[in-house]
Structure 1
């Protein structure tokens, strides 16, 4: 709760004027509500005045009535103003929270994203946003006036009848203390668990729907149904316990309210019997109690709403407080890549909790404009090599330099914007083909986008589509074939025209008919820039300037295809011949 309130207060401070307007209007409206019972008592006394003419009694009653009407009108106007000002406050906070949380989540480390359900993260953000709206309403429009009513009513009653003030004060304190204790220590733990399972539902739904093609491929709809039924069942049990605790707490609060009401009415009768209060005073006491009762009754609901809001914001605040992982250093400057030389200088690296480092004192230089292939068994360190160049992870020792600039000392945006990536499994946005290709260079013209598509051998299939470049590709590009997705990724890289290019077997998903055309286009793309190619099929690296053979995190061999093939017991030769033999065997 402390963390949630601190988070909320930071956003309130950005809108101090709005907050002051809301608080001022609500407190004045509430004070008018407190004064109305006082004048209702005076109205009753005016009607019961003994020894006065009816005209005098009517005059005094009308005065009290006029004040009551004025107070009521003022209360309505002020409350309307306060509620209207809450709208820009809550919408502004919700907008800021959505934008800031999204920006923060976008910048979390690769490891964080690999270990998180996107559906669960979205649920945390959206649920937290709406919880902010409820939190503002509860604190500013409900609990603030309730606290003011209880304090001011107790003071007004205690000034005339100390015993009555004591009854109201003790009853209010007991009620609020019980309500807060139930909310924090009885309901909150159960609500936190039910919210966690609510988040799991979002993650389970997103996981199954995002992989629907796999579900259909294996006829696994019933399995996914059963998986969701299991999660929903556990959520239902947790939620039933939470709601039962809410109900029990509500009943307890009604018992306390009944006790307060009975005690207060009894004290009022005793004061009247002992000539310490007039009938108008008793009317004032009872009317005041009805006001206090309404606020007290609502306090229970508001405290529960507050507790629910806090529970629902907890995961959002945890997102905000989670470490970014890879951050720009203070004083980071934009990177300027000219030649594109990449140098690993005594680099050491290990993943997270892994005790054994992947790299120890790894040193290698890739000259600017050089085309280099990375080969080796799975897990040998090829992919990590290119991820470190992009600074998706930080090295644990040594440094990585591009044109003499340490990648840790430049802004990540400037670094990655000058490195074009073509992954083995291309990822596309559920946007138009033009937008997906244009992602490589914001602001590119339609002519530039089409030129890039032609270079990637994608223009022809795009032109055949009913909406051409304005065709939506579906989530993660599901409407396109694997080869078509790969060509769109290649077109994006052509358009980016970055000085450093990373390809993860960029032609592996293409059919044999278009592979030759794309390979020729890739050859053109490689010219004049530093290119690093992660090769799974070794035939694709034969024409490269240099090949680095990785083995258990070290570079076991380094040379051209011809040089490495001349080593009788070389790892590269062994890998190449084995793969060639597998291909011949498959052909036979």
Structure 2
């Protein structure tokens, strides 16, 4: 725990404040305006007790008919009104400035976080809950709002008030200034040490469970169809209840620690109040302070006390903001994983020839490479099936072509261009892919189909849908192509989602096509239509088909049979099926036997 606290103080706070200061520097004029306005408004508060004391002295020195006393009272009163008016005006300027500053910062940070999350590696997304990621970003954004308010329009005025009041009181009574200065510093030290050393570690742990809670909620809600399918609502309730219990315990500990911290601050402030008021009475009893002086000291102290009391809350808010922002800052600090190299240019794919040249690749920290000195050529326009057991390297093969991972050695070349030297967006925009489990946006069907080519006309969208045998079912929907499909396309059947994804690939019209068993979710009638459409789509394109059902690859030009990251066999379906003891033949016979048993 001690080691955790040290990391929290030195690590999280430093990184969050550095992150925030970097964004402040992007708006220097607004920051200067806010600080200047806050300083002027706070100085008005510092001087208010002084003129309150002068007003009391003027009243105490003579009756209302005394011209000198009256003029002194009016002058003090006028100054008090002017100070109050100035404080209101400059605080308004500060608040308007911080609104603009904070909204610009939140917008920039949200855009940057989205930019980075979109470009994080495939592994990062596979290991992260979408709900947790969204919660980290949104919680961090609102924490930034609180942090800006606390530092710029709360803590800064408190510091100015403390210094100003101490100097002003010390000017009249040096010992009084010393008491206020020492007492205030002790109070601040107690507040900071309790907040950072006692409350913050508990708050950080509570936030981690808050993130897990958000992830668990998103996971269960997004998979609600599976929950309903297995009648598992009660089971999910119990699972979430365990996480909620942990979250409640961690949050309860944070809040209780915060309460004890607040009580300790209140006791410290009470001791300081007794010292100041007691010393003021001592000065009055010795004739060293007039009624106006007493009013000045008491007013100054109670104004200062209000600021000091708020210091505890402000420090707690800073601590809470840092805890809430640290996961957002972690997202900002994480490397993107796959990045375009300096000077990378767009790739121009024409024919679509693909060459793997002595490729070595392994995932993450895996010691043994999946591919070692792996080479293969796929001529332009060839239709190639990728076959093999699960984990043999088929899916990795197409992911490397899309540059979802960087190689450990060797290179992949398309039409003579090393894909590591070109921009990722240009590469992937010229590779159409239909996944085994298509993912759709919660947008209209037209938008989902046109995602491959945003500028496509309605006629082009409908033409692609017709080629994919999707137009008829879309036309029967009440809103047709304007129908929203639900999150991840849940409003559509599996076959309908697949046909929309295929229509998207038709519209992309890319020179390289990747099909991950694209007809696996279709009924028999649609499958025949799609197979015919796919034959047309493959013409003139380099096509890679990840085959799970071997019956779908018979008509392909060549089959690559993968085994533990190497190509164990290659050839046409007819050639491989005749190879005694071959991997492909065993796989094909096994599937044929399973199909025969299923029909019996």
| 2:144 is aligned with 1:132 | yes
| 2:240 is aligned with 1:232 | no
Cα distance in 2 between the residues matched to 1:337 and 1:453: 25
| 2:460 is aligned with 1:445 | no
Q: Deviations over 1:207-252 (max 9, x none)?
A: 0001001101111000100011111111000011000011101111
Q: Residue 503 of structure 1: which of 515, 518, 521 is its match?
A: 515
Q: Residue 46 of structure 2: which of 10, 29, 34 is its match?
A: 34
Cα distance in 1 between the residues matched to 2:217 and 2:245: 14
Segment of structure 1 superposing worse, 45-54 or 330-339: 45-54
Aligned to 1:211: 223
Cα distance in 1 between the residues matched to 2:408 and 2:442: 37
Identify unmatched segments of 5+ residues in structure 1.
none
User: Is the partner of 1:62 in helix, strand or coil?
Assistant: helix
Contact kept? 2:350, 2:511, Cα under 8 Å: yes
Aligned to 1:401: 413
Aligned to 2:7: none
| 2:350 is aligned with 1:338 | yes
User: Is the partner of 1:223 in helix, strand or coil?
Assistant: helix
Q: Residue 100 of structure 1: which of 101, 112, 120 is its match?
A: 112
Deviation (angstroms), 1:50: 6.4
Deviation (angstroms), 1:55: 1.9
* Match runs of 1:290-439 below 5 Å: 290-439=302-451
User: Is the partner of 2:452 in helix, strand or coil?
Assistant: coil
Segment of structure 1 superposing worse, 87-96 or 491-500: 87-96
| 2:478 is aligned with 1:466 | yes
Q: Deviations over 1:91-117 (max 9, x none)?
A: 111111111101101110000000001
User: Is the partner of 1:569 in helix, strand or coil?
Assistant: coil
| 2:162 is aligned with 1:150 | yes
Q: Residue 123 of structure 2: which of 78, 97, 111 is its match?
A: 111
| 2:298 is aligned with 1:286 | yes
Identify unmatched segments of 5+ residues in structure 2.
1-12
Contact kept? 2:64, 2:70, Cα under 8 Å: no
Cα distance in 1 between the residues matched to 2:578 and 2:305: 93
Cα distance in 2 between the residues matched to 1:30 and 1:84: 16
Deviation (angstroms), 1:274: 2.3
Deviation (angstroms), 1:281: 1.1
| 2:241 is aligned with 1:195 | no
Cα distance in 1 between the residues matched to 2:207 and 2:577: 60
Deviation (angstroms), 1:561: 1.6
Q: Residue 531 of structure 1: which of 522, 529, 543 is its match?
A: 543
Cα distance in 2 between the residues matched to 1:53 and 1:508: 101
Aligned to 2:284: 272
Aligned to 1:2: 14
Deviation (angstroms), 1:53: 6.6
Cα distance in 1 between the residues matched to 2:186 and 2:580: 88
Deviation (angstroms), 1:563: 2.2
Q: Which runs of 4+ in 1 moved over 3 A?
A: 50-53
Cα distance in 2 between the residues matched to 1:498 and 1:113: 26
Cα distance in 1 between the residues matched to 2:284 and 2:595: 106
Q: Residue 176 of structure 2: which of 161, 164, 169 is its match?
A: 164
Number of aligned residue pairs: give it.
Answer: 588
User: Is the partner of 1:48 in helix, strand or coil?
Assistant: helix
Aligned to 1:24: 36
| 2:540 is aligned with 1:553 | no
Contact kept? 2:62, 2:69, Cα under 8 Å: no
TM-score (structure 1 length as normaliser): 0.99
User: Is the partner of 1:567 in helix, strand or coil?
Assistant: coil
Q: Deviations over 1:553-578 (max 9, x none)?
A: 10001111222223223222222222
Cα distance in 2 between the residues matched to 1:587 and 1:500: 37
Contact kept? 2:435, 2:515, Cα under 8 Å: yes
Cα distance in 2 between the residues matched to 1:198 and 1:305: 18
Segment of structure 1 superposing worse, 300-309 or 573-582: 573-582
* Match runs of 1:234-249 below 5 Å: 234-249=246-261
Segment of structure 1 superposing worse, 50-59 or 566-575: 50-59
Cα distance in 2 between the residues matched to 1:581 and 1:226: 43
Q: Residue 198 of structure 2: which of 180, 186, 193 is its match?
A: 186
TM-score (structure 2 length as normaliser): 0.97
Q: Kindly tell me: are residues 338 and 167 of structure 1, through their superposed partners in 2, closer, same or farther at Cα, counting changes over 3 Å?
A: same
Aligned to 2:9: none
Cα distance in 2 between the residues matched to 1:466 and 1:513: 24
Aligned to 2:6: none
User: Is the partner of 1:473 in helix, strand or coil?
Assistant: coil
Q: Deviations over 1:61-97 (max 9, x none)?
A: 1111110111111111111111111111111111111
Contact kept? 2:360, 2:407, Cα under 8 Å: yes
Cα distance in 2 between the residues matched to 1:328 and 1:381: 25
Deviation (angstroms), 1:437: 0.3
Deviation (angstroms), 1:265: 0.8
* Match runs of 1:470-489 below 5 Å: 470-489=482-501
User: Is the partner of 2:44 in helix, strand or coil?
Assistant: helix
Cα distance in 2 between the residues matched to 1:238 and 1:576: 55
Cα distance in 2 between the residues matched to 1:201 and 1:581: 46
Deviation (angstroms), 1:49: 2.3
User: Is the partner of 2:242 in helix, strand or coil?
Assistant: helix
User: Is the partner of 1:399 in helix, strand or coil?
Assistant: strand
Cα distance in 2 between the residues matched to 1:22 and 1:51: 44
Cα distance in 2 between the residues matched to 1:575 and 1:270: 99
Aligned to 2:57: 45
Contact kept? 2:359, 2:409, Cα under 8 Å: yes
Please provide the CA RMSD for this pair. 1.1
Deviation (angstroms), 1:397: 1.2
Deviation (angstroms), 1:52: 11
Deviation (angstroms), 1:164: 0.5
